[in-house]
């Protein structure tokens, strides 16, 4: 039984959530409220000193940070992990690409432009620059998906989950996804994989992190 520390609406938190749903892994979700600053509070820093979600706690009390690292742990030995060393290297290639060319731009543009727009007032130029950088990454992804149904080995797996987290909400970052039709078609394909659960369900059965801390 795993415990996933997560916040509502987060593409990074969706990744371990989705893979656990699709692989039938038993887990519990504790909701950490980023908007109320809970990731920076002492109680949460005691759980994850890096002060970020998602954070995955194993049954033995070992914590794992970084959403893409969680995918490798959770899917280990399953059909969702690429079979050969070359394909595993390609998977890591795309995961590093996601963390350097997509997520750092889609996530803040969406956060300040959509989730907490009051925090984005006066930062329009910064948001616009993030959108442009995200579009450059999405163009690379679109070119790849023009020739492939899925990212690695032409079958669905953890690499798709890693990129799906933020790419499928890039429209909420103010990016017109009609200019990336192959990405859009891939989003539709991933959304139809067996056991797919949408981001909206991430914290549907979560318990609040701080309330649990008070009760404990």
Ligand X SMILES: N[C@@H](CCC(=O)N[C@@H](CS)C(=O)NCC(=O)O)C(=O)O
The nearer residue to ligand X, 41 or 153, going by C-beta atoms, is 41
Binding part of the chain for ligand X, among 32-40, 85-93, 134-142, 179-187 by CB under 6 A, reads 32-40
Buried b (16+ CB within 10 A) or exposed e, 150-185: bbbbeebbbbbbbbbbbbbbbbbbbbebeebebbbe
Q: Angle at CA 69, nearest 5°, toward 202 and 97? A: 95
Which residues lie below 8 Å from residue 10, measured CB to CB, with a gap of 6+? 34, 53, 54, 202
22 binds ligand X (CB under 6 A): no
66 binds ligand X (CB under 6 A): yes
The nearer residue to ligand X, 95 or 152, going by C-beta atoms, is 95
40 binds ligand X (CB under 6 A): yes
**Binding test (CB under 6 A) with ligand X, winner from 52, 187, 190, 206:** 52
**Binding test (CB under 6 A) with ligand X, winner from 34, 161, 187, 199:** 34
- Is the CB of residue 1 less than 8 Å from the CB of residue 59? yes
Point out which residues bind ligand X (CB under 6 A): 7, 10, 12, 34, 39-40, 51-54, 66-68, 99, 107
């Amino acid at each position: 039984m795993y415990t996933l520390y997560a916040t509502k609406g987060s593409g990074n938190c969706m990744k371990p959530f989705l893979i656990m749903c699709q692989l039938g892994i038993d887990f519990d979700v504790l909701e950490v409220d980023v908007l109320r600053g809970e990731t920076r509070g002492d109680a949460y820093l005691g759980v994850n000193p890096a002060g970020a979600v998602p954070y995955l706690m194993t049954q033995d009390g070992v914590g794992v940070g970084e959403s893409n690292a969680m995918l490798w742990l959770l899917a280990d030995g399953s059909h969702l992990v690429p079979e050969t060393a070359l394909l595993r290297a390609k998977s890591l290639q795309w995961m590093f690409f996601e963390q350097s060319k997509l997520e750092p731009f889609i996530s803040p543009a969406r956060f300040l432009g959509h989730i907490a727009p009051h925090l984005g007032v006066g930062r329009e130029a910064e948001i616009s620059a993030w959108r442009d950088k995200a579009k450059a990454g999405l163009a690379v992804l679109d070119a790849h998906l023009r020739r492939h149904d899925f990212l690695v080995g032409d079958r669905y797996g953890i690499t798709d989950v890693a990129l799906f987290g933020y790419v499928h909400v890039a429209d909420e970052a103010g990016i017109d996804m009609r200019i990336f039709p192959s990405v859009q078609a891939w989003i539709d394909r991933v959304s139809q994989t067996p056991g797919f659960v949408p981001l909206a369900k991430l914290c549907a059965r979560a318990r609040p992190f701080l309330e649990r801390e008070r009760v404990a």
